[in-house]
Structure 1
Amino acid sequence: MTELQDLRIFLEGHIDVPPERLEQVRAALPEHIRLTLAEPGCLSFQVSESGDVAGRFMVSEAFVDRAAFDAHQQRAKASAWFDVTVGIPRDYAVRVGSRR
């Protein structure tokens, strides 16, 4: 049986940005990506605009464990990214997986 601390955390989904906030979100995104990739325990972090749905940004994240993921969530909530995206609808699914 795999212990909880041995499980990676994966987040997949999207954020739907209204047209009037697109430029603000686009401007804030590079710094949010840079800060997230620099976090201890971040394995990958990708955000890209959908080619199919206007204003939709596809999000994919992976962290070494729950503690790293939780630390990311806390950092993000105290960041400029949070201020820029507050109230924007998100549709994310979080899954737990083994290191193997």
Structure 2
Amino acid sequence: MSAVQLTGTMTAPEDRAEAVRAAMPEHIRLSREEPGCVFFELRETDPGVFEVSELFLNRAAFDAHQARTRASDWFRVTGDLPRDYDVADL
């Protein structure tokens, strides 16, 4: 099985950016603790622009991360925000 890498950005309008910032630490912590997480970085590069880079050992670990995320407070805060992500099997 090959590793899976996700990179890209998520954009929040000014009126929602603070809620995203508040939810980030827990989302980062939980993501980094997941089995199969090799690397997880989430940072604000410009006001309201959040860059993500993540690497999981395999597709199963990546899919489990996606499922956990969709059931989280992070998704409640960010689920409808525009994302521009690339996902690659390495």
Q: Deviations over 1:23-76 (max 9, x none)?
A: 1110000000000000000000001111xx431011000000000000000000
- Match for 2:5 among 10, 26, 29? 10
Structure 1 residues not aligned, in runs of 5+: none
Deviations 1:78-99 (A, max 9, x none): 00000000210000000111xx
Deviation beyond 3 Å, 4+ runs, structure 1: none
1:31-46 alignment to 2 at 5 Å?
Answer: 31-46=26-41
Which of 81, 94, 98 is the matching residue for 2:74?
Answer: 81
Q: Which amino acid aligns with 1:92?
A: Y
Percent identity of equivalent pairs: 52
TM-score (norm 1): 0.88
- 3-state SS of paired residue (1:87): coil
Aligned residues, how many? 90
5+ residue gaps, structure 2, are: none
User: Aligned partners of 2:49, 2:22: CA distance in 1, in Å?
Assistant: 15
Distance 1:54 1:24 in 2: 13
Give RMSD over aligned pairs.
0.7
